[in-house]
Structure 1
Amino acid sequence: MALLSVLTAAQSDRADLLVEAGESLAAQELPDGWEFDWVVQEDGPEPGLAEVVGRFPFGRYAANGEQLGIAATRNLGLARAGGELVHVLDCDDRLLPHALATAISAFAEHPDIHWVAGQADDLFPGDMRLPYPALLPAGVVERGVVGTFVLDHGHTPVPCGGITARSVTVRALGGWAAVPRAEDLALVVALAELTPGFLTPDVTFLYRRHLGQSTRQASWVALHGESQTVVRQRLQAVRALGLRAGA
């Protein structure tokens, strides 16, 4: 059986939301010949999520034992992931039942791609959903398209939270960048600059909007500009050196 590893970085104060994320995984409908596991890595000095993850037979739990931040936590989870594909699921988001199958099918239909991004709906309290605006047409995304958009507009045209990628490629790029903000943007930009990908036409995940999310905290704006500078410098350096990954 081929394996896809779903990677979630979590903190103990998100237990209820993590249950919903796990339930959305339990509802996944995978193609024949595929299975998945759920690699949960808990950040923080006082771990408290082992019991939550243990409710799900596909869950695999570990804790940092100290506060390391989301990038380092994801990278430690990546080190435990055994799947040839890795899918990022934030602990407060939910997958729709066809999400993993949609990504797997895209890789099968387009063997040269290294990443797949799903479309998203914003999820508000009361389960109200609003479409997340699509900024690129669905289909194969050639190298450099995402990077040019980021340089022109200052943000990514693909939802970073719904990325499925070849594990070997993520590891070759060093995983998530060691920046205090935009660590997922840094990885996605590098992936999309070096390798082709695919943007699905289907909504595959629900991006939860809530008062506790990191991007809504007053402290989030601190160091955000500096982090964006790191992302742009990395992109410009890749272009200056003419780097690209093989098919």
Structure 2
Amino acid sequence: MPTVSVITAAYGPSAHHLAETARGVRAQQLPPGWSLEWVVQEDGERPVLADALGAQAEYGHNGTRLGIAATRNLALARATGALVQNLDHDDVLLPHALATLIRRFEEHPIHWAVGAADDLLEDGARRSWDSAMPFGLLPAGDVNRWAERHGGNWPVHGGGLMVRADTLRAIGGWTGIPVDDDLAALVAVSELTDGWNDPTVTWLYRKHPAQTTRNSHYPGLEDTGRRIALQRAKALRNAGLALTAAPSFDGGGTDVRVGPNIKPAPTG
């Protein structure tokens, strides 16, 4: 039975909407034959979310403040799914979200997919957006070329990315930068592989005063993540790299075994 792993990096002081995020995960209506695991990794020195999540999530914590990219990657190390769905701790998956995108992987030899997102406003209202890219198959490189023509602004959102787990691991997981790590990961997979832009609204992007994009812990880096993403896209293109489609849902990292560390002890 193939598994989809929903990965959430959480941080206690700003996880005010985690209960609603959890309800969205529980409400998922999966295609026949699929299973779901929710892998939550909590950042910070003082973990506080374990009791609130209970048995509904595969929970782990960092024990120190590492930032969102490292926290996502630690969750990825524990994930067993063939597909990975990113989900921020304040966003909401609609009940049909995973089923909608999983079917695209079953129907097409793609490595990644995104559904449309509505903004979820503070008063509970939703605001929709028109897609800047055509719906359906997006050939490798098209998303980044659009961004290059539009000042480093991307037409799809990395926050709602579903991706083959092996592909995500092959590019190094979420990019190890303090801002826009999800964007830089999207840039890599979309430059190297074909993907899918689905017209179905599959998730809600919550807009609120405490969200990370409004309260950066790294002032002065507002444009740095987008610059790194553009540089990454051009570097991948110049290197002539590409990935072929993976036709099955085998794997997911569960066959990896790590033995004792045999590095010699330092001398002197």
- Which TM class, normalised by the smaller chain length? over 0.9
Structure 1 window deviating more from structure 2 (66-75 vs 132-141): it is: 132-141
Q: Tell me the matched-pair count.
A: 244
Which residue does 2:124 correspond to in 1? 127
Query: Which of 63, 77, 90 pairs up with 2:61?
Result: 63
- Indicate if the aligned counterparts of 1:46 and 1:65 stay in contact, CA closer than 8 A: yes
- The alignment partner of 2:17 has SS state of helix
For residues 159-192 of structure 1, the C-alpha deviation after alignment (integer angstroms, 9 at most, x for no partner) is 2111100000000000111112111110001100
Within 5 Å, which residues of 2 pair with 1:84-233? 84-110=82-108, 112-153=109-150, 154-217=152-215, 222-233=220-231
Whole-angstrom CA distance in 2 between matches of 1:108 and 1:117: 14
Bigger proportion of residues as helix: 1
- Indicate if the aligned counterparts of 1:142 and 1:195 stay in contact, CA closer than 8 A: yes
What TM-score do the two structures reach when normalised by structure 1? 0.95
Query: Which of 78, 81, 84 pairs up with 1:80?
Result: 78
- Indicate if the aligned counterparts of 2:140 and 2:194 stay in contact, CA closer than 8 A: yes
Cα displacement (A) at 1:206: 0.4
Whole-angstrom CA distance in 2 between matches of 1:14 and 1:223: 20
- Indicate if the aligned counterparts of 2:14 and 2:210 stay in contact, CA closer than 8 A: no
- The alignment partner of 1:214 has SS state of coil
Which residue does 1:2 correspond to in 2? 2
Q: Structure 1: give runs of 5+ residues left out of the alignment.
A: none
Following TM superposition, the consecutive aligned residue runs of length 4 or more in structure 1 with deviations greater than 6 angstroms are none
Whole-angstrom CA distance in 2 between matches of 1:155 and 1:179: 18
Larger C-alpha radius of gyration, 1 or 2? 2
Whole-angstrom CA distance in 2 between matches of 1:52 and 1:206: 22
Whole-angstrom CA distance in 2 between matches of 1:95 and 1:178: 25
Whole-angstrom CA distance in 2 between matches of 1:8 and 1:216: 19
- The alignment partner of 1:116 has SS state of strand
- The alignment partner of 1:135 has SS state of coil
Cα displacement (A) at 1:15: 4.1
What TM-score do the two structures reach when normalised by structure 2? 0.88
Which residue does 2:47 correspond to in 1? 47
For residues 61-116 of structure 1, the C-alpha deviation after alignment (integer angstroms, 9 at most, x for no partner) is 00000000000000000000000000000000001000000011110111x10001
The root-mean-square deviation of aligned C-alpha atoms, in Å, is 1.3
Whole-angstrom CA distance in 1 between matches of 2:15 and 2:83: 26
**Which AA in structure 2 matches 1:10?**
A
Cα displacement (A) at 1:227: 2.5
Q: Structure 2: give runs of 5+ residues left out of the alignment.
A: 246-268
Cα distance 1:188–1:17, how it changes in 2: closer, same or farther (>3 A)? same
Cα displacement (A) at 1:16: 3.8
